[in-house]
């Protein structure tokens, strides 16, 4: 069911398969470094937005800053995957700090999740468990439209 576009870069696809063992992927848009995954989740395609999340400019984006960032863009937290349109992945430390590594957005028409992986293209994947045991960590936050 999942394949790759003819113009995709095989090296990145190999990386996807090696570092993300649960990821069955379909590349649906060309590879680009014009924007990152967090930008993708809010519909921005012309810049990286990591620094916009770190609202107090301390070099780290906290849990609260991510919630404020998404609220500013019309999203609120939800505990229910069925109503989530944005999912955020990362790692939690024993002190409660988070390290966000990735964001994905649900495709409205099909219900599949779409991700922008680094400088890669937009990929389609089937669920939120596909990043388990990967460099992206665990599901940390989900958001629905406000």
Structural domain includes residue 26: yes
Instruction: Give the torsion sign (CA, 85, 88, 89, 93).
Output: negative
Structural domain includes residue 3: no
Structural domain includes residue 1: no
Q: Calculate mean pLDDT across residues 67-96.
A: 93
Q: pLDDT tens for residues 13-43?
A: 677 677 776 666 677 888 888 999 999 999 9
Structural domain includes residue 47: yes
Domain that holds residue 43: 10-145
Structural domain includes residue 110: yes
Q: How many CB atoms lie within 10 A of CB 22?
A: 13
Structural domain includes residue 5: no
Structural domain includes residue 2: no
User: Which residues, other chains included, contact 94 with Cβ-Cβ below 8 Å and sequence gap of 6+?
Assistant: none
Q: What is the pTM of this model?
A: 0.84
Total tally of structural domains belonging to the chain: 1
Q: Band of the pLDDT at 132, cuts 50, 70, 90? A: confident
Structural domain includes residue 40: yes
Which of 51-55, 77-81, 132-136 comes out lowest in average pLDDT? 132-136
Q: Is the pLDDT of residue 146 over 70?
A: yes
Q: Band of the pLDDT at 103, cuts 50, 70, 90? A: very high
């Amino acid at each position: 069911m999942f394949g790759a576009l003819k113009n995709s870069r095989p090296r990145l696809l190999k990386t996807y398969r090696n570092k993300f063992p649960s990821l069955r992927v379909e590349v649906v848009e060309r590879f680009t470094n014009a924007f990152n995954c967090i930008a993708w989740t809010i519909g921005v395609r012309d810049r990286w937005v990591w620094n916009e999340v770190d609202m107090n400019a301390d070099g780290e984006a906290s849990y609260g800053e991510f919630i404020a960032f998404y609220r500013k863009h019309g999203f609120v937290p939800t505990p229910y995957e069925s109503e989530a349109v944005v999912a955020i992945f990362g790692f939690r430390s024993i002190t409660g700090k988070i390290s966000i590594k990735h964001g994905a957005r649900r495709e409205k028409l099909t219900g599949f999740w779409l991700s922008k992986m680094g400088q890669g293209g937009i990929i389609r994947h089937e669920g939120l468990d596909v990043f388990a045991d990967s460099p992206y960590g665990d599901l940390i936050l989900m958001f629905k439209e406000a």
